[in-house]
């Protein structure tokens, strides 16, 4: 049984597990999260695999407070004001990643931004203190299902996929954190959540922009915020041509002398997911005409990888289809 009462001892064990790249579930004041070291792309890939997410949505990273946030992201005056008012608590801020940000690209699904939040739950804080790591944690449920607010829900959803489920009792708020995008002075409400809009307005002294105001594609983690390489992709390639780069997969990769990255020599989709966004970025910067992408199997995390490849290959076509009911 992975459920264990959250004690100093079990929290220390969970922290050690995180440092080893193992995933653990833990309570926050909003909902239970499925956590991984945000610095470890393979561990983060295990979170996506456990949730069975068909897409790589960017994840929220949990930190102790402002100082830690500043080591990963650019925190401007507007963000600082919100942090002073609402952290620790149910507010996540999407901020520009710093150049030196060590958080895995997979956490932000390849975007130049990162969502950060400082939880107030004592177990979540004790875990962050013991692990001394930023912890990436989406809700600890299977994709498309209701967020868990007690440890037993987590077990019903995920069984023993997390090595441990720290039981800290029922979550006080029971609703996900509110997510705000910060872009200079502009503050956009990306997800309604446990911190009401009115409270945020009071602190800012003005209205919040809704994502619909900025783009026709409204939901966060959807097309508008998706990372796409500037270099065209050629999907389902069996070989690469001169002037191309090769994004390979598996042991049967063709011989190629140009820039090449194999997502997983041994054909492992969790390894491929862990390397995916960083690989796209590297090949995008290689100055080639196009990136030839070998076929990726469609099962497991391959579904999310293929989803992202298709969006990157034809963003315009998908933007249109996304507006259909
Ligand atoms: O209450 C919560 O926030 C819970 C607990 C565990 O802390 N966590 C949670 O995480 O709900 P998750 O990963 O399920 O929610 C992430 C949300 C998504 O709506 C995602 O699209 C948005 O945050 N998000 C994360 N990073 C983003 C980014 N860089 N740009 C835009 N949206 C982002
Ligand atoms: Mg969720």
Q: Can you give the pLDDT at residue 315?
A: 59
**What is the 254 CA–ligand 2 centroid distance (Å)?**
39
Q: Can you give the pLDDT at residue 230?
A: 83
Radius of gyration of the chain (CA): 20
Establish whether residue 178 lines the binding site of ligand 1, counting it when its CB lies within 6 angstroms of any ligand atom.
Answer: no
Ligand 1 atom with minimal separation from the 190 CA? 32
324 pLDDT band, cuts 50/70/90, is very low
DSSP helix/strand/coil, 73? strand
Q: pTM for the complete prediction? A: 0.86
Establish whether residue 31 lines the binding site of ligand 1, counting it when its CB lies within 6 angstroms of any ligand atom.
Answer: yes
Higher model confidence: residue 220 or residue 57? Answer: 57
289 pLDDT band, cuts 50/70/90, is very high
Establish whether residue 59 lines the binding site of ligand 1, counting it when its CB lies within 6 angstroms of any ligand atom.
Answer: yes
Distances (CA, A) of 144 to 148, 159, 171, 188, 325: 12, 17, 20, 24, 18
94 pLDDT band, cuts 50/70/90, is very high
Establish whether residue 57 lines the binding site of ligand 1, counting it when its CB lies within 6 angstroms of any ligand atom.
Answer: yes
Q: Does 162 score more than 50 pLDDT? A: yes
**What is the 56 CA–ligand 2 centroid distance (Å)?**
12
Query: Other CB atoms closer than 10 Å to residue 136's CB: what's the count?
Result: 29
Q: Can you give the pLDDT at residue 14?
A: 98
In the chain, pLDDT over 70 holds for what percent of residues? 91
Please tell me the number of the ligand nearest to residue 34's CA.
Answer: 1
Establish whether residue 51 lines the binding site of ligand 1, counting it when its CB lies within 6 angstroms of any ligand atom.
Answer: no
Ligand 1 atom with minimal separation from the 62 CA? 7
Q: Does 322 score more than 80 pLDDT? A: no
């Amino acid at each position: 049984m992975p459920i264990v009462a959250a004690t100093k001892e079990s929290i220390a064990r969970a922290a050690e597990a995180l440092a080893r790249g193992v995933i653990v579930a833990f309570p926050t004041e909003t909902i239970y999260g499925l956590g991984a070291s945000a610095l470890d792309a393979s561990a983060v890939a295990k979170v996506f695999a456990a949730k069975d997410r068909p897409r790589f949505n960017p994840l929220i990273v949990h930190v102790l407070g402002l100082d830690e946030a500043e080591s990963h992201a650019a925190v401007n005056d507007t963000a600082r004001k919100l942090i002073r008012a609402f952290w620790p608590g149910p507010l996540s801020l999407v901020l520009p990643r710093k150049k030196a940000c060590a958080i895995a690209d997979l956490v932000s699904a390849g975007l130049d931004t990162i969502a950060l939040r400082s939880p107030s739950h004592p177990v979540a804080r004790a875990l962050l203190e013991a692990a001394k790591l930023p912890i990436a944690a989406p809700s600890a449920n299977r994709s498309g299902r209701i967020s868990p607010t007690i440890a037993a829900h987590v077990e019903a959803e995920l069984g023993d996929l997390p090595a441990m489920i720290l039981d800290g009792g029922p979550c006080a708020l029971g609703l996900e954190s509110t997510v705000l995008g910060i872009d200079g002075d502009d503050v956009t409400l990306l997800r309604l959540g446990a911190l009401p809009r009115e409270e945020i307005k009071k602190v800012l002294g003005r209205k919040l922009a809704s994502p619909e105001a900025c783009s026709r594609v409204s939901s966060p983690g959807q097309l508008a915020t998706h990372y796409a390489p500037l270099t065209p992709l050629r999907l389902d390639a069996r070989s690469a041509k001169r002037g191309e780069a090769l994004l390979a997969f598996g042991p049967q990769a063709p011989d190629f002398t140009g820039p090449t990255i194999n997502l997983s020599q041994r054909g492992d989709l969790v390894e491929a997911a862990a390397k995916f966004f960083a690989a796209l970025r590297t090949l995008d910067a290689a100055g080639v005409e196009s990136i030839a992408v070998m076929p990726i199997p469609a099962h497991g995390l391959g579904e999310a990888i293929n989803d992202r490849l298709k969006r990157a290959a034809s963003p315009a076509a998908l933007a249109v289809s996304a507006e259909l009911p």
